[in-house]
Amino acid sequence: MAQQPNSENVPAPLWLPCPAGEFERLSSRLRHRQQRRAVLKGVAGLAAATLTGGGLWLWLRSGSDGGPDYAGIRCEEWRFDPVAEQRSLHGSREL
């Protein structure tokens, strides 16, 4: 859209000069944005690596002995012995 002419019948310029220091302000703002993005990418990468490493460590540690861990007690194999169960319920009496 064309600009309206001024009092001397000369059209107004389409481009106006920037105020002093405008390019420095814009470049500084852009530099800060780039630095902030780089820091955030680094923090996100570090957090992802930490979570992956921690999950992998827990996964490998839990299966190292092959059995479940109940409050620090590991059971390699558990078999139900009905005779022993009856003895423990009824004392040492013979059945």
User: Which of the residue ranges 2-6, 52-56, 76-80 would you say has the lowest mean pLDDT?
Assistant: 2-6
Candidates 71, 10, 84; CA nearest to 2 is: 10
Model pLDDT, residue 7? 65
Residue 10 lies in a domain: no
- Residue span of the structural domain in which 58 resides: 22-90
Residue 34 lies in a domain: yes
Could you tell me where the beta strands, DSSP code E, fall in the chain?
A: 69-70, 73-74
Model pLDDT, residue 30? 97
Candidates 55, 74, 53; CA nearest to 65 is: 74
- The domain total for the chain is 1
d(CA 23, CA 2): 27
Model pLDDT, residue 50? 97
pTM surpassing 0.85? no
Return the amino acid letter for 31. R
Residue 84 lies in a domain: yes
d(CA 41, CA 92): 67
